[in-house]
Chains A and B, each alone.
Chain A
Amino acid sequence: MPRPFEKSREIGGPDPIDVGVSDRRLPLRALVPRLLRRRAALGLAPAIAPAVIFVPLGVLMGPAFLGLLSPDVLVHLDAVVSVGLAALGVFVGMALKLQSARDRALLGAGCVESSLTIAFVTGAVWYLLTKWGMPLTLPVPLVALTLGICAAASSAGLVEASSDVRHRTATRIADLDDALPILVGGAVVALVASTDAPRVSDALVWTGRTCLVGLTIAVAGWLLFERAHSDAERGVFIIGTLVLLGGSAAYLSASPLLSGMTAGLFWTWTPGRAEQMVRESLRKFQHPLIVLLLLVAGASCRPTVAAVWLFAPLVLFRLAGKLAGGWVAARLLEEVTPGDLGTYLVAPGLLGIAFALNVDQWAGARGGTDILTATVAATLAGEALAMLLVPTKGDAPTEATRTEATPA
């Protein structure tokens, strides 16, 4: 019987390695042999978030050290990055499969949590930057909003059969709380990419266009996937659709995450097996794409003064924003205590880096790289904080949880 809160998106969902080694709190002497015994494509398990491994590897391979990912190579990888972002957007869109009133409640809670985090981080960073008078090329409110969106993403780890209801709820909310940042991020990317004085009305029009383009491509894909004559042909159509989603967004200076999310949402809500087919195909490419995104993000980082100054407030405000957002959102639900939800959502996952990478594509020289570097560093710090803060299945539930939680 399918579990109601099965986590399905985060770096590809259930994977033999994910199931094999997933306990965050294993002692090191037990964890290392278990990791070594595993044969896996990535060679690591969610006990360590992929960003922790591949971002530093990207930094090492980047222009600052080995130079394997030179600026020329990074320019050529730009198209693949857009496709990777679109694929990530498709995963987010497909996670928005709302089958019951409870799912809608969880979406509501996720939106409340992410909007509060965005508002808190944006406001705090805006205030701080104004006070500091830091010289930035991009307008201060735009930088603050971008960092707010980067901070809003969260990942609550993989759900296992033994995971408790708090973990399952938090994981589902972590899946759903990415939708709003991506939607707002669509407008932010349009503002960032604009070389003229950015206007909010234009950005909203561009966001609409991005959704429309994503929807049109999704309809074309939907018409093709189920009617392919062979698996090979279906593969061509699915890859072509994803590449077109990413490529059209890149050409339009728009957000591939948004166009991908629109398409994923469409395939989820329309009849037929399109969603299942896309999911199966993406499973073959998701790990290489995500590794590539992280390597490129690492290689694109530059430790500038602005990035260093942005890093610490981002970590701090994100933690505060998540705890506050989780506290409010938990009041809409029954099974988690206000104190628990925010703690579960401390781990940042990948989407913040993905969005920062998208901003860096359009405004690298105008401050985008500073935002990316700060976000990447804050993500690594967030993962470290999550190792310390996030409750694991080994932890005894609080008294409040025992009384409030309902079995899944």
Chain B
Amino acid sequence: MNRLLALLLVVGVTYLITSRVPPPGFAARGTGLALGFTLIAAALAGEIFGRLRLPRITGYLLFGMLCGPYLGEIINSAMARELQFVNGVAIALIAFVAGTEFNLQRLRPRLRAMLEMGAVIILLMWIGLWAVYWAAWPWLPLVPEADALQRLALSALLSTVTVTFSPTVTIAVIAESRARGPLAELVLAVVILGDLMLIVLFTLSSEAVRWSLGEAPLAGAGIVSGLAWEIFGSLAFGALVGSIFALYLRGVGREVTVVLLGVCALLSQLGSALHFEPLLAALAAGLVVENIAPPQGDALRDAVERGALPVLVIFFAAAGANLHLAALAEIGLLAIGVSALRLAFIRLGTHLGCRAAGLDSPQARMVWMGLVSQAGVTLGLAILVASEFPGWGEQLATLTVALIALHEMVGPILFRSALARAGEIGKMDEHVPAPRARDGAGEAEAPAQA
């Protein structure tokens, strides 16, 4: 009751301010109001969803959508854009947390099967969707006049954008439901593998589109070196930053929350400036911290808990506020059709992937439920396409945004329900591995607070 009253007060005061007073001269003046309002109200909305056994991040997203510029207008479009300033840090933080969840010693026996399954799912989805798009091209509202070669390249590009998953949503659902187990690990492995493979596929297919449209010659060596820089450079950069952070944790260990957020800002900002993939770099940093120099005690765990919650709340509420519902209304039927097709290929890929990798557990068969979400990566690719190929690229972006609007709402709910069915929710707190003997610490870490 008290929380509801607080929520009403916060919503009421923000609504009165934004509805009675014209927005200030420049957008940055509204940032604080949007940020404070979002932090409190979205956190409370997420908690209501948690009580209903739904993912909290769906609560943050829905809150953003309801209060955002397309519906409630408590957060106007300028404020919604300003809220996205946390995106870089949030993505890096989420990937860092994912890296620390990958204990290679624990995963080694199943790693090969997991990667095999992931490769089958991704390739089958990509090839299947490519074939369907190629066949259905004349009816798609993109470039109906494209010749056969152009259709091949364009279908490959569209297929790449459609296949993408959302590592951020996947990791966020796992983190907020404190899930640990075969399903969570399998979905995480497939999603991250998908991210790696799709970087390569996107680069290749967009080059192919440019070449087929006569906009640029084929640049083989350049593509390979660019990809190598992006993938291996990201991993090396992340590993370096992770090593320094691990040293800090062991040697100093103070103000860990602030330093962790600083590390994430460094990974995202410097990484982007150097053309690295922030997600991969942060993942590598987390992997190094967890597997090579694991911290002693709970300092990092506490820091992640303290730092992650506000960042996740703002990140997902901002994502909800910036969801272009107009795109869904404009191209909704086509988006639903493409979404159904994608879902069918995800299920088929999971089925065949399980068989190919020899994984026949109930958890492995539920992996498809964790692969539905799409968010930032997909949107990023769509924006790239729209900026590089004006005209049809913008139409493709509209379709992609509509797909994201669908999958961002449905995906987390499906994944959380799969985790619940697999009995993995809350296991992160129950089973915490003891620190390795070489650390010289004998006792297990204390379970973190939920």
Task: Please give the residue numbers on chain A whose beta carbons come within 8 Å of chain B beta carbons, in ascending order.
Answer: 41, 75-76, 78-79, 82-83, 213, 216-217, 219-221, 223-224, 227, 229-233, 235-237, 239-248, 250-253, 284, 288
Contacts and interface: CB of A to CB of B under 8 A. Distances in A.
Contact of A232 (B10, B24, B449): B449
B18 interface: yes
Contacts, number: 133
Q: Which of A219, A233, A245 has most B Cβ within 10 Å?
A: A233
Interface string B191-203: 0000000000000
Contact of A253 (B2, B6, B24): B24
B38 to A, nearest CB: 8
A214 B85 CA distance: 26
Interface in B27-53: 28-40, 43, 47
Given A216-B13, A232-B305, A236-B43, A247 B32 contact: yes
Contact of B28 (A75, A244, A245): A75
Interface stretch (B135-143, B306-314, B342-350, B395-403): B306-314
A252 to B, nearest CB: 6
B17 A213 contact: yes
B36 A216 contact: no
A247 B258 CA distance: 22
B255 interface: yes
B17 A248 contact: yes
A224 B39 contact: no
B156 to A, nearest CB: 39
B43 A250 contact: no
A83 B28 CA distance: 13
Contacts of B257: 284
Contact of A220 (B9, B35, B43, B449): B9
Given A224-B6, A248-B13, A237 B40 contact: yes
A75 B25 CA distance: 12
Interface in B334-362: none
B329 interface: no
Contacts of A242: 36
Given A231-B306, A232-B309, A251-B18, A246 B10 contact: no
Nearest to A247: B32
> Closest 8 A-B residue pairs measured CB to CB?
A247-B32, A244-B36, A240-B39, A243-B36, A247-B33, A240-B40, A79-B31, A223-B6
Contacts of B33: 244, 247-248, 250-251
Contact of B31 (A232, A247, A284): A247
Nearest to B39: A240
A345 to B, nearest CB: 32
Nearest to A214: B13
A82 B39 CA distance: 16
A237 B43 CA distance: 8
Contacts of B437: none
Contacts of B12: 216
B322 to A, nearest CB: 18
A231 B303 CA distance: 11
Q: Which of B36, B305, B309 has most A Cβ within 10 Å?
A: B36
A235 B309 contact: yes
Given A79-B28, A244-B33, A246-B36, 14 more contacts: A75-B28, A79-B82, A220-B13, A223-B5, A223-B9, A230-B449, A232-B449, A236-B313, A241-B36, A243-B36, A244-B14, A244-B37, A247-B34, A252-B17
A227 B32 contact: no
B219 interface: no
Interface of B: 2-3, 5-6, 9-10, 12-14, 17-18, 21, 23-24, 26, 28-40, 43, 47, 82, 85, 255, 257-258, 305-306, 308-310, 313, 449-450
A236 B312 CA distance: 11
Contact of A223 (B2, B39, B310, B313): B2
A223 to B, nearest CB: 4
Contacts of A227: 2-3
Nearest to B33: A247
A301 to B, nearest CB: 20
A213 B21 CA distance: 13
A251 B43 contact: no
Nearest to B38: A240
A233 B309 contact: yes
B26 A220 contact: no
B369 to A, nearest CB: 27
A300 to B, nearest CB: 15
B30 A251 contact: yes
A59 to B, nearest CB: 22
A252 B19 CA distance: 12
Given A213-B13, A216-B13, A235 B37 contact: no
A233 B43 contact: yes
Contacts of B29: 78-79, 250-251
19 contacts: A78-B29, A79-B28, A79-B29, A220-B13, A223-B2, A231-B306, A232-B306, A232-B308, A236-B39, A237-B43, A240-B38, A241-B36, A243-B35, A244-B37, A248-B13, A248-B14, A250-B24, A250-B30, A284-B257
B256 to A, nearest CB: 11
A240 B10 CA distance: 10
A251 B76 CA distance: 13
Contact of A247 (B36, B43, B449): B36
A76 B82 CA distance: 9
Contacts of A216: 9, 12-13
A309 to B, nearest CB: 29
A239 B38 CA distance: 11
A251 B24 contact: yes
Contacts of A245: 36
A239 B17 contact: no
A224 B450 CA distance: 18
Contact of B258 (A79, A246, A288): A288
A236 B17 CA distance: 22
A240 B17 CA distance: 17
Contacts of B31: 78-79, 247
Q: Which of A79, A219, A242 has most B Cβ within 10 Å?
A: A79
